[in-house]
Amino acid sequence: MKIFLRILSFANNIGRRLAFFFLYSILGIVFGAFNIVLVIPMLKSLFDQGKKEATIPPIPGFSFSTDYLVTVFNHYYLTIIQNYGRLNSLLFVIALIVLTVVLANLFRYLERIMATKIRVDLVKNIRMEIFKKVSLLHIGYFNNERKGDLISRFTNDVMEVENAVMNSLKAVLKEPVTIVVYFFVLFSISPKLTLFTLLVLPLTGGVLAEIIKRLKKQAVASQESLGRIVNILDETFSGMRVVKAFNARNFLIDKIEKESSFYRKVNKSMSYKNELASPVSEILGVLIIAGIIFFGGNMVLSENSTLDAAVFLGFIAVFAQIIQPAKNFSNGITALQKGTASAKRIFEMIDSQPAIQNKPDATVLKTFVNEIEFKNVSFAYDTDLVLKNINLTIKKGKTVALVGPSGGGKSTLADLVPRFYDPTQGEVLLDGKSLKDYDIESLRRQMGVVTQESILFNDTIFNNIAFGNPSISEETVVQAAKIANAHDFIMQTENGYQTLIGERGSKLSGGQRQRLSIARAVLKNPPILILDEATSALDSESEKLVQEALYNLMKNRTSLVIAHRLSTIQHADEIIVVQQGEIAERGTHEDLNNRNGLYKKLVEIQKTS
């Protein structure tokens, strides 16, 4: 119930809307009960001809009680019988039945409208909360979690929560009220017969509770399996070129076949138990009604009859109305178990705390003045250190290049500057102050990042360059594209800057995608630039254009460059050779080339390759 209440808390104005939901529900239930109870006087009008009429009771003082309603009804009902005959009393009862049916359905409609408002707001707010919280999480979270599972929580799990809310608002919140109201009416009709029904009803509840209990664990397994299926699909569709190149289609078919079979097995078992709940409750309901008919029939047919036949038929009609709410309640609890399992997965994500957070008194970084300093910095993703006691200073306006064997820690070192991660030991300082003391957004506003993989979006060229700056002018975007050597190829596309580039820029070449990434960085105009192997995946012609664009971008900026092709960083003010997480060598290209060290070996290897 705690999780269900937390789900509801995501709806707007939930207190007021739930109050109206309950008000409309109760009014709908009450008027629905009235039109059933009115069957009793209708039957009496039809079958009690020749009987001596009761004395017409006077209208009592107003009070909220069944006695008041019964007395008022009997006053008018018996008055009509005595003054106008039984046919007109039947017309009176029928008119009341029609009126109560109209009112009952009006309030049921209003109740459903209110439930819909709660549902649509809740789903939208949960999705937005997931997106906001996940976008705050540090980069390492996305390396550890399957992307498909994250998407599954955003789509499938939210859909299960939506279904659970719709079913549960009616089944868990409304139906118990329905049952209570109808039992109150039953007690008013015959306390003895109602007590008999209460003795046999727990049998139904016990059987259904056992079925529901077994569904809960399988609901969790079902949603986790669906997340894995989405992840396989995402990886397959994203990497279809590799799948075909390595003839891996059958391997992936087997992989998704195995997961789909598990999902089928779990859901088949869940469906069997879910479908069992309805027939079991119906069979038990019929058995209970059969017992009531026998017990009540004995009260009607005995020599000392304690129950009128018309009243008994009315009692059965009212009790029959309890069976469907009871079934709805059991089905709603079943849906709620599945929705609760999905909600737990959603809340796990929402409750995940970002590893990188602002301090309460974080300083807003207005401008970069002097230098970036790595002071005794070590870092580990898990337990093994990736960086070991790094000491490095990058002066404003200088270009520092990081080179060395793959896996040596170059990218990790660069990721510490925009605080994608925090050091395990030591500190990274900017203008003499720890990065942890700065507001994260203001820190990152001072930086531009261009990576080996061009991160583009399925949108226009203009929007990709202006990413994060919706109010930027076209003239400014064009100027950035020209600096990045991208303007000429952009103008050759079908719609120029308004050309859609496809998912991840699939309609462009590698060099074109990279130049758009550089144009984006140019537009941001950051004082600090981080280039992570920005030309390593390009052909010679594209590399020349991109390298020229990078030179334009790096002018008068502080640059940290990770380079695979050493020919591209010979102009750097300082080259840092990183090996196994440590600084093995440092100096200019000429200095390092004159030594017989690792850098010279790397240069010679590239010359001969």
Using the predicted structure, report yes or no on whether residue 426 has a pLDDT greater than 90.
yes
- 275 and 378 assigned to the same domain: no
- 390 and 247 assigned to the same domain: no
Give the domain CATH number at 494.
3.40.50.300
Report the mean per-residue pLDDT for the chain. Answer: 80
Q: Are 114 and 21 in contact (CB under 8 A)?
A: yes
Which of 350, 382, 398 terminates a domain? The answer is 350
Residue 363 lies in a domain: no
- 401 and 431 assigned to the same domain: yes
DSSP letter assigned to residue 59: P
- 121 and 43 assigned to the same domain: yes
pTM of the predicted protein model: 0.65
Q: Are 592 and 577 in contact (CB under 8 A)?
A: yes
Q: Are strands 447-451 and 528-532 parallel, antiparallel or unpaired?
A: parallel
Residue with tokens 């819909």: 116
Residue 357 lies in a domain: no
Least confident segment among 79-83, 146-150, 191-195, 444-448: 146-150
The pLDDT of residue 389:
92
Give the domain CATH number at 332.
1.20.1560.10
Residue 202 lies in a domain: yes
Q: Are strands 385-395 and 528-532 parallel, antiparallel or unpaired?
A: unpaired
214 — pLDDT class (breaks 50, 70, 90): low
Residue 245 lies in a domain: yes
Q: How many residues does the chain have?
A: 609
Handedness of CA 30, 31, 32, 37 (dihedral sign): positive
Give bridge partners of residue 66 from the DSSP assignment: none
Q: Are 277 and 334 in contact (CB under 8 A)?
A: yes
- 267 and 232 assigned to the same domain: yes
Residue 526 lies in a domain: yes
Residue 226 lies in a domain: yes
- 423 and 523 assigned to the same domain: yes
Residue 362 lies in a domain: no
Residue 243 lies in a domain: yes
Using the predicted structure, report yes or no on whether residue 433 has a pLDDT greater than 70.
yes
- 344 and 377 assigned to the same domain: no
* Over residues 337-363, mean pLDDT: 82
The pLDDT of residue 210:
61
Tokens of 180: 């209570």
- 261 and 398 assigned to the same domain: no
Using the predicted structure, report yes or no on whether residue 142 has a pLDDT greater than 90.
no
- 450 and 566 assigned to the same domain: yes
Give the pLDDT confidence of 80-118 residue by residue, as tens digits.
Answer: 877 777 778 778 888 888 888 899 899 989 988 888 888
Tokens of 464: 């990709």
The larger pLDDT score, comparing residue 527 to residue 548, is at 527
The pLDDT of residue 185:
80
Domain count across the chain: 2
- Report CA-CA distances (Å) from 544 to 406, 506, 534, 537: 23, 21, 12, 12
- 344 and 441 assigned to the same domain: no
Which of 350, 385, 415 terminates a domain? The answer is 350
Structural domain containing residue 527? 371-608
Which of 350, 383, 408 terminates a domain? The answer is 350
Residue 399 three-state SS: strand
- 221 and 83 assigned to the same domain: yes
- 441 and 483 assigned to the same domain: yes
